A and B are shown apart, each in its own frame.
Chain A
Amino acid sequence: MTFSIGNPINTALVLYIVYRVNSILFPSIKPPSTIPHDFRDGYSWMPKSHPPTMLYKTYTPKTLTPFNGMNGQRILLAINGIVFDVSRGRNFYGPEGMYANFAGRDASRGMAKQSFDEEMLTDIDQPLDKLEDLTPSEIENMNGWIDHFSSKYTVCGRLVNEGEVQ
């Protein structure tokens, strides 16, 4: 048997072994220079950005109308003065959806009377539908829809008449 460290392969292996032993016995404790933004890049990571939040806004019938998803915007609809962001339900409330009538409008009467007809919607220039002629069971139905929407979609604003915005 011959042992010769002068052999290039042996030298390389010896150097590698010395390097490994050194990093086991004397591990590096230098913190990383940049903060990793993914958990796979390092233990002390930090997400790059905050979770997105939207502002609670006050809408009027005119300012609510543009949000009907036509140009890829958010889809909003209002029930009883509460504005919901229903962009996730684009299939229903988007331009080709079954309930597209409600997008960007006050859907209170339609929700109460369980109808998606055009007559349920009040014209934008008119003051908001006061819903005075609804029967108690219709009001209960509408409240049921409000609960459903509150759990499924985000409440992102309120709907008031023109001139009531503070």
Chain B
Amino acid sequence: MPLSSYVATDDLTVLLGLSAAALFLLQNLYKPQPLVHPILLGRQSDVAPVRNPGESAVYRNYSTSAMGRLPLRPAAGVQTIIDLVRADIDSPRTLWSTKITNAQLLARVKAFASGLDNLSKFQAGESKVLFLLNDCLEFLIADIAFAAKSITTMTISSPELLAEVLDNYSPSAIITDSDFLSHIIEQVYDLNQHTHTTVIVVGDPGSVGVQLAKEMSLLKFTDVEKEGANNPTNLSPPTDVNHAFTIAFSKSPDGAGVQAVQFTQQNLTAGVASTRSLLPVSSPLTPLDTVVSSFSLSTPYGRTIAYTAVYEGTSFATLNSTRIFSGDGEVQLDAPGALKDINSSSAFPIPSPTILFVKPEHVISLTSSILNAARSGSWLSGWGWRHKTAHATEGFITKESLWDRLVFDAARVKVLGEGAGTLRALIATGGYTPADTLTPTRVVFSIPYVNAVSSDVVFGPIFASYPHDLQIHPSSEAGGAFENIAHVGAPTVSMEVKLVGVDDVTIEEGKDPAGEVYVRGPPAGTLLGSTNNPINGEHWLRTGYRGKAQPNGCFKVAPLKK
């Protein structure tokens, strides 16, 4: 047959040719743009050019190196804890169960402070107050009032540490919930400290409580406030922001007892600056947000989150799992428990949460519940999953896609309730998020998802992943300590990190440095009672983590003791 019959074209050819060209253009030009250019994800830390033998170089956040110095405060002029309650934000917001403006909050703080003056014998600079209080507004009021009067506050991260702290640090006062009161009174009497310890009770101690505390000075929080409300003092600004205002007790990383870390107000403002930077610059915290946290105010990290919420004027509440001072044991965070815990925030009259600061257990259980709800809810879920995952591998994700409207919005509402659509950022802190849950969580929520790590020696997070980072790297270390752990990003804006105990030979060969994580920076406190002598004027703190640095500046961490 002549060649011409093979290459004969007809009208159908023209039609098909045009369609093919159109499809080709459609697919190549309509590719979604990644949320962040991948070139920026290749260099997320600023690495120092010199390192000491046996240590890695000092890592800082890449954007910090451009500024040259580590931020000390969220904005100019925020020096003390009182400055964190901004005078220029006057809209009311709900803190736990109370709708309150900043002006009202400061008024209550002043009332409490002057009530203290009248009713108790606290000496500025000498007295120490132990907080055994579950998270509530009274915690914040008392914390700010004591700080303003230069009375050191002490917090413990777990009730097990109570005996040792009472024994070694003899607080002049204890502030606690009415539920926990009987427990404390026992311990105080045991240690024979009852004659010189004042107890301030939030809530009603009841006749039983009053009976038990017959030899102790017992004050009700509401009485102190009422007393002070008649003639509130003016809060004089403390003279030295570098003076320690609080001591946080926690379990020591090597398991050897209690670790006491002393913090100044500058540590707190630096921690707030660090925490604010977790969210993308294009969508920072605003007074319209509602922050919900699963970290207790008795831990430095939880406290920083609360003060960041106060500073930004958002509504704020904490989950049930933060109630460490109650007669019941710890809340179990297995899959059904974690879900119930997240929904416990609906007990407070806050607007539906927009930012969640939770633990990896919460995220894992939420992701699997939403996935199950999606699969059972719509036959299109597999197809939608496929499309969203394909976009995510190119670096793009959105909550407003067709698949969200068809499949995932309904699934989220089923698990999180009617307010699920308002959620706009998810921050999981802990460092042990499994790597294989990264893609499911990103696809199912389609909001900025940050993996962060904190420690009891700093205010705020140490590491945090970039919110628009959607990279997936296959796990290269099988069986190591970092197997199947998601990376936690680069150090946050105010932190400097180095790894100690690294193998120099490994680094010279170009492999990833791995060692114990040490931190330094404005949010880091000072360890009490240790021979923490500065070496060359440098104070580095152990965080209790082992870490590994990747070539792009991101880290993976695992707890020290196994």
Contacts and interface: CB of A to CB of B under 8 A. Distances in A.
B13 A10 contact: yes
Interface in B432-485: 470-474
Given A9-B13, A13-B16, A24-B26, A56 B472 contact: no
A5 interface: yes
B20 interface: yes
B473 A46 contact: yes
B491 to A, nearest CB: 15
Contact of A7 (B10, B34, B38, B551): B10
A10 B13 CA distance: 5
B512 A50 contact: yes
Interface string B377-408: 00000010011011001110000000000000
Contacts of A29: 386, 389-390, 393
B419 interface: no
Contact of A13 (B20, B47, B386): B20
A47 B507 contact: no
Contacts of B471: 43-45
A8 B6 contact: yes
B90 interface: no
Contacts of A71: none
Nearest to A7: B8
A165 interface: no
Contacts of B383: 26
Contact of A20 (B20, B49, B57, B512): B20
Interface residues of B, number: 54
Nearest to B476: A35
B24 A47 contact: no
B393 A154 contact: no
A134 interface: no
Contacts of A4: 10, 12
A125 B89 CA distance: 70
Contacts of A154: 49-50
Residue from the set A35, A52, A53 with the largest chain B CB neighbour count within 10 Å: A53
B48 interface: yes
B39 interface: yes
B53 interface: yes
Contacts of B53: 55-57
A13 B43 contact: no
A31 B472 contact: yes
Nearest to A8: B6
Contacts of B358: none
Interface in A34-53: 35, 39, 42-53
Nearest to A25: B383
Interface string A146-166: 000000001110000000000
Given A17-B20, A47-B42, A56-B52, A2 B10 contact: yes
Contacts of B393: 29, 31, 43-44
Given A49-B510, A53-B57, A39 B390 contact: no
B48 A39 contact: no
B47 A53 contact: yes
Contacts of B39: 39
Contacts of B512: 50
A24 B23 contact: yes
A24 B11 contact: no
Nearest to A48: B551
Contacts of A23: 27
B9 interface: yes
Nearest to B387: A27
Interface string A125-142: 000000000000000000
B47 A54 contact: no
A118 B289 CA distance: 69
A98 interface: no
Nearest to A58: B53
B12 A56 contact: no
B17 interface: yes
B12 A5 contact: yes
Contacts of A1: 10-11
A55 B504 contact: yes
B16 A10 contact: yes
Contacts of B551: 46-50
Contact of B472 (A13, A44, A55, A57): A44
B65 interface: no
Contacts of A155: 50
B550 interface: yes
Interface in A72-88: none
Contacts of B281: none
16 contacts: A1-B11, A2-B11, A3-B12, A7-B10, A7-B12, A16-B20, A17-B19, A31-B472, A42-B38, A44-B393, A50-B47, A50-B513, A51-B49, A56-B50, A154-B50, A156-B49
Given A7-B10, A17-B20, A56-B51, 7 more contacts: A7-B12, A9-B7, A17-B23, A29-B386, A49-B551, A51-B47, A53-B57
Interface of B: 6-13, 16-17, 19-20, 23-24, 26-27, 34, 37-39, 41-43, 47-53, 56-57, 383, 386-387, 389-390, 393-395, 470-474, 504, 507, 510, 512-513, 549-552
A-B CB proximity, top 8 nearest? A27-B390, A13-B16, A44-B471, A20-B23, A39-B38, A47-B551, A43-B395, A53-B57
